[in-house]
Structure formats: C-alpha cells, structure tokens
Structure 1
C-alpha cells in the first residue's frame, strides 16, 4: 500500500515466502510472528501503511499464518501504547465477550486474579501470553496473563470450524490466574489504537481477498476468452482498488494524527465495511466464475475460501452499519 522503500519491499517479499512455507502450520506461524514482531512497525508511527501491507501480504499467502500474526502484532502495539514491558514470547488478544457470566478480575493481596470463562481465545493452548479483558466491577480492564500458569485451562473439543481449522478459538477457564493490569479501567476501548487495530484486521481481509482474486486471474489466463469470466475479473479488480484506497487513506490519516477519538472509530467502521463487502463480493464472483472445481480439487483455494469466510465474521455486518448510521446522525452533516 502506498510507496515503499526497497528495504520495505524486500521485507514484504521475505514475509510472503515465509508465509507460503508456513501455510496451515501453527508452529511455523508462531515462529514467523515472533520474528516479524521484532521488525514490523506499530500503527501511528509514520509507517502504518507498511504494517498493513505486511499483514495483507501474509494473508494473501495464507490466512492461518495471518490469523497468528495479526493479534501478536496488535498485542505488541497495545503494550507499547500503555508503556508496559513486553515479555518474551508469542501473544494473543482475548477481548471478545461471550455468553454466560463474564470473566472477572479481583485483587488478592498485592496481585490481580482472574476467575471465570473467557470465550474466543485463539490458540490459548499454544501461545505464551495474552492480553485478556475482564470486568472490574462495572468496567472492563485489560490484563497481561502468562498462559502457562496452572490457573489457565483451554477448554478442549469446542472448535469445530472448517475455516481456520488449525486456529482453535475455543474458551479458556481461569481459576485464580494471576494477571498484570495494562492501562486503567476502560482504557483498552478508549485508546486510539483500538480503532487502528480494527482497521488492521481489515487489511488481513483485504489480503485474503487478493489471494482468492489471484486464483481467479490464473484461471482467466488459462481458458479461452470468456466475457463472463472477464466481467467478474474486472469487477474484482475495481473492488480491490477501492478497498486498497480506503486502507491507504486511513493509514495516512493515522500517521498525521487525524484518526483519534470519534474520528478513529468512524474511520474503522467505514474502512471495515468497504473491505469486508469487497471480500464478500470477491468470494461470490470467484465462485460464480470458477464453478465447483477449485473448491473440490484445489486444496489451497478451498482452504483459503473457508478461512476467509469465517475470518470475515469478525465484521458485524448490519450491526456495524447501524452503528455507523447512528454516528452519522449524531456527528452532524457528514463531509460527503
């Protein structure tokens, strides 16, 4: 996305090669994430476009690898914003809310402890650490947690997904697990990086859609001229161009300090909508143009389609559109 230096291009090329080699392999993906976390920038430091290009590059190669890399980088960015120490190891971010009683944090002597069940904890059984949100009274607070301690147990046998099948995202039970606070209560959701991280996820969706589009283009090159296939390819190209422009504009706005507060949240809703609907259209057009063959006989394409379809459900679709509509009404006349 945007102009890049020769060194940045070389880094992206290396990431693509390594992501291809690590495809669908969680252990190799964790190694890639740990190494990339030492070199890739955080959002808002003047190189946000390069960060998102890296996420998209990895996602275009393999979405399992991207699903490991994205939260690890997000956790490093969160700890940096909070001016907290980054302990060695690989990280996840477990901040989604699920059914039942929420995870709660209390003070036991000099330390905070977590008790309860946390849902949607990707790779909790193999990660070293995680940033976990829990309720402290009526407010949510973020905590850094060592996942190897006895008070943390990933619940087995709950992840039956066909997409991202290797990324077990089942619940985790916490029982008196020690935790270190990261930021004040409410800080996690209020900080500018919350919206920026949400757009970073959209960069992964964009990369996944590019991977599907590349399969469509290869098929178009190998068959006789077909106006319907060309129509789909042209429409996909236009959609991806629009999505890329939205991501590039957001990256530039972040780096000049324009996307904080309400503006950051509004931008996240807009960009995620544009990219998610682009990805859904790419999936549909690829299905119409390619037919059942690649889904039945091309293991890489079939896995990418299933992975992307599940990944896109991190977008809340009509609910996010309604939230954006409410923001439009509340903020006054939009600058259309």
Structure 2
C-alpha cells in the first residue's frame, strides 16, 4: 500500500492492468463492501457487473480476473456470488457464437450448476410432442438456487453423454430442498439439491459442448482468480497487522518477516502466472486441447498457495483474530471452504495423465 492510498477503502488486486483502468473498479468494490452479508444486494451488483465486465478471450481476460480477485479480496462470499453469474454470461455468449442453437439473453441473476453426486441424477429428454427438451431428476450443490432467476445446468442425455441447458428456476416443476447448510464458511451461500419435474430447458450446444469449449478451462481459471483475491486479502491483513504492531513498538521477528517474504514471493509468482495466462488466452493460444492442462496447473498452484498462506498467517497471529476478529474469522472460514472446489490430488492425477500423453511445455 502506498502512502496515497486510504487504508479504509477497498483496494483492487492488480494482475496486469494499468492503474487508471483498475480505478474503474472502485465503485464496484465499495458497493461490494457495503453489501457484505446482503445476498440480494450482491446479486444485484453481479447483474450490473455482468453488463460491463469483459468476457474471457475477448481481449480483457486480465481485467475480468482482476474484477473477480478484487471483489473476493473485499469479501469471499461476494466473489463467490459474482463469479458464477459472470461465468454464465460467458457461457451464454459462447453458445450464441459457437453453436447453431437459439441465443439466450443473460437477463436477471444466474448460477452455473455442473456438480454431480452419488444417487442424484438429472436427465434431459425431448418431449414426445417435439415441443422441446425437459429436465427431470435432481441436481446437487446448487448454491443459493432459490434466490436466482436462471441457471446453466448440466444434465445426462439419453445416449449417455452430458449437455448444458439454460433453465428458468421460477418455472413450474422446480423445487428446492432444504440445504441443511451448517457450514461456518460461506454461511450466506447455502448449497443444496434442486429437483426438476419435466422442466423446460434450452440446449446450449450439443452433447459434450459444455466441456469441450475452451471457455470451460477459462472459467475454471476465473475461479482461481477469486481464490487469489482471497489470499491477497489474508496477506494484506497480515502485513498491516505487522505494521500496526511495529508502530506500537513491537517490531516483527525473523519468523514473521520470513513468512511475509514467502507470502510475497508466492503471490507475486501467481500474479505473473495469471498475467501471462490471460495474455495467452486473449492471443488465442489457449483455445485447444492444452487449455484444460493449463487450467489444472493454474488452479492447483493457486489452491496450494492459498492453503499455505492461510497456514502461515494463522501460525503468526495465533488464536486471537480467529476468536475476536469477526471479519478475519469470516474470511478464513469462507476461503477454506471455497478452495475445496479444487480437488487437490485428484486434479493433479488428471494433470499427470495429460502430462503422460505429452501435454506439457517441458
């Protein structure tokens, strides 16, 4: 933080954009801070941001990721609400340009539900009358579904494949199970099961399109940008805590300085990686089969770094902030749950399989 910055104002996370471009984010960040804990307000903010934030691959990927990281640095839950809406907007735009299907406008609030769980299956079938496609079954891990207007949802096809569909969550036949959400992290964003009974749905591309498109990998890296923002917030609070202690006459010891140095080295390396990756996406270099390998590298590197940074800061600050600083405790709990979207060694195993086939830069 330089001397001209107000420590009380939320700050953007810079990946590669010019400072004057990042300054455009200030109203969004202040609105996100004012809306912490207010899901309807944050959903309205996401809807507004969706009209101006660039799509991945459009030449502004770094700014998109800076937007996601910066909002998450204000509040992890705010970033968790913004990211799927922007991802849905990108999916709808990609479907409109890459497929022969109907264009679906991104109106209202959107989620993206692609998770699977044992014993729960969502199936897509064409109606006997030829009137279109309907969804029947159950979809797990649908975050704040009851508060959303629409969603991009994956479903199983009769031939065994999977497709993506746009669905009106207010339609007849949609019902929401009690999430029974007991998590202390992301408490305002419960994820539960949504049931569908012959609900009309608009196909987005053909079988497998959702997973084959390069935007699938780009969206996965957008989530990693959110994780990065959360880690930056933890690091900033740690550094500022050391500065305040020093101002009171308690200089940081060698361990604290070593940990702060490791945090700086880690975050700086990740920021450089995201800057290069965003530039490659915009240059058209990550639109083929190698895009998913790169997404696995980025997501794995960021997730590992987040856990390391949380551990270092917790060791240094001890139990006090977790017990008495509500904002710090919320951030740590929210971020710990959010990064569990990364599948850790299972994702590394997937990357290893791709590496074994020769998909690596070395």
- Asked if TM exceeds 0.5, the reply is yes
Tell me which moved more, 178-187 or 224-233. 224-233
How far did 1:150 drift? 2.2
Asked whether the 8 Å contact 2:234–2:313 carries over to 1, the reply is yes
* Matching of residues 173-188 of structure 1 within 5 Å: 173-188=195-210
1:66 is the counterpart of 2:79 = yes
Structure 2 gaps, min length 5: 1-13, 97-102
C-alpha distance in structure 2 between counterparts of 1:198 and 1:101, whole Å: 23
1:173-225 deviation per Cα after TM superposition (whole angstroms, max 9, x unaligned): 11111111111111000000000000000000000001111111111112212
Query: When the two structures are superposed, what TM-score results if normalisation uses the length of structure 2?
Result: 0.90
Tell me, yes or no, if structure 1 residue 132 matches structure 2 residue 153.
yes
Structure-2 residue corresponding to 1:91: 110
TM-aligned CA distance change 1:302 to 1:36, over 3 Å = same
Ranges of 4+ aligned residues in structure 1 off by more than 6 Å:
none
Residue pair 1:95, 1:133 contacting (<8 A) in 2 also: yes
In 2, Cα distance between equivalents of 1:167 and 1:232: 32
* SS of match in other structure, 1:181: strand
Cα drift, residue 329 of structure 1: 1.1
Q: CA RMSD in A?
A: 1.2
Distance 1:58 1:299 in 2: 19
CA deviation profile, 1:273-300 (whole Å, cap 9, x unmatched): 1111111111000100110111111111
Give the 3-state SS of the residue equivalent to 1:106 in structure 2.
Answer: strand
1:241-279 residue CA offsets vs partner (Å, 9 max, x unmatched): 111111111101100001122210111010111111111
Partner of 2:190: 168
Confirm whether residue 245 of structure 1 aligns to residue 265 of structure 2: no
Q: What is the distance in 2 between the residues matched to 1:293 and 1:87?
A: 44
Aligned length: 335
Distance in 1, Cα, partners of 2:225 & 2:126: 38
C-alpha displacement at 1:7, in angstroms? 5.3
Whole-Å separation in 1 of the counterparts to 2:24 and 2:267: 23
Where 2:146 maps in the other structure, the secondary structure is: coil
Deviation string, structure 1 residues 129-181 (Cα, Å, up to 9, x no partner): 00111011201011110001121111114222111111011110111111111
Per-residue displacement from partner, 1:40-73 (whole Å, max 9, x unpaired)? 0000001100000000000000011111100000
Confirm or deny: 8 A CA contact 1:202 1:271 kept in the other structure: yes
- Provide structure 1 residue ranges, at least 5 long, that are not aligned to the other structure: none
What per-residue deviation string (whole Å, max 9, x for no partner) do you get for residues 13-34 of structure 1? 2222111111122111101101
Q: Secondary structure at the match of 2:187?
A: coil
Q: Tell me the secondary structure at the aligned position of residue 113 of structure 1.
A: strand
Structure 1 residues 12 and 329, CA gap change in structure 2 (3 angstroms): same
Matched, 1:100 2:119: yes
| 1:155 alignment counterpart | 177
**Contact 1:25/1:64 (<8 A) preserved:** no
Q: Matched residues in 1 for 2:142 and 2:186: separation?
A: 13
Instruction: Describe the shift of the 1:157–1:262 C-alpha distance in structure 2 as closer, same or farther (beyond 3 A).
Output: closer
Q: Given the alignment, which residue of 263, 276, 288 partners 1:236?
A: 263
Q: Which position in structure 1 is the counterpart of 2:141? A: 120
Which secondary structure state, in structure 2, belongs to the residue aligned with residue 266 of structure 1? helix
CA distance in structure 2 between the aligned counterparts of 1:82 and 1:261, rounded to whole angstroms: 17
Within the alignment, does 1:54 sit opposite 2:67 as a pair?
yes
1:125 aligned counterpart, secondary structure: helix
Give distance in 1, aligned partners of 2:207 and 2:284: 24
Tell me the CA shift for residue 331 of structure 1.
1.3
The one of 285, 291, 301 aligned to 1:274: 301
